[in-house]
Chains A and B, each alone.
Chain A
């Protein structure tokens, strides 16, 4: 059972480039979310989804887009990367929601924007 899989693990971008961070889970979880982790800031919620076709904003959504066309996948898109988006990004899923049960995390995607 793979759990939550994130790709790529490492990425370097130039300012203004676009890219997509992929997240897939094989646990049939309805809830999926993206966090960024920065030194001194902890983990902050970017976007989340409570099911296929449904997405909503978290604490720091600006500069990021998401979509949820299937239960399994929840990609995070950076349309025009900025140095402030240098961070470690984590995808997490839960059977029902962040309030009801255990969150399962991927191993992270480390992004550097030059």
Chain B
């Protein structure tokens, strides 16, 4: 069964800290993996998309990596800011199932 897991469910850090969010997936036939941001009461905003042939993608202070052999992806946020406070979700698209499966998200709070 295709499953995506995000641990921890919640994280609180002081402003300025570098942090890593984790995403694990069970399907070895991964096609791509996406990271999204969701603000309270809002929809999801796509942050980064990593194709299975890639190892990482970068956008500003965000860097996402993909390790297919271990079934893991990480989202690295440098120099965190209070505006980064949100829920971050990862989603895996499987070549086997043709489905995009979401993790349950990590809720991040960055304290001033």
Interface size range on B against A = 20 to 34
B contacts with A: majority SS: strand
Contacts of A106 in B (CB 8 A): 43
Contacts of A43 in B (CB 8 A): 44, 89, 91, 102
Give the shortest distance, in Å, between A48 (CB) and chain B (any CB).
9
Contact mask for chain A residues 81-114; partner B; CB cutoff 8 A; 1 contact, 0 none: 0000000001010000011011111111000000
Interface centre among B31, B42, B43, B100 (most CB of A within 10 A): B43
A101 to B49, CA, bound (A): 7
B93: Cβ under 8 A from any A Cβ: yes
Interface centre among A44, A99, A107 (most CB of B within 10 A): A99
CB distance A107 to B43 under 8 Å?
Answer: yes
Give the shortest distance, in Å, between B59 (CB) and chain A (any CB).
12
Report how many residues on chain A are interfacial, defined by Cβ distance under 8 Å: 21
A90 to B102, CA, bound (A): 13
Instruction: List residues of chain A with CB under 8 Å of any chain B CB.
Output: 4, 40-45, 58-59, 90, 92, 98-99, 101-108
Instruction: List residues of chain B with CB under 8 Å of any chain A CB.
Output: 4, 31-32, 34, 36, 41-46, 49, 89, 91, 93, 98-100, 102-105
> Other CB < 8 Å A-B pairs besides A45-B100, A98-B93, A103-B44, 19 of them?
A42-B89, A42-B104, A43-B89, A43-B91, A43-B102, A59-B99, A92-B43, A99-B93, A99-B98, A101-B49, A102-B34, A102-B46, A103-B46, A103-B100, A104-B46, A105-B43, A105-B44, A106-B43, A107-B42
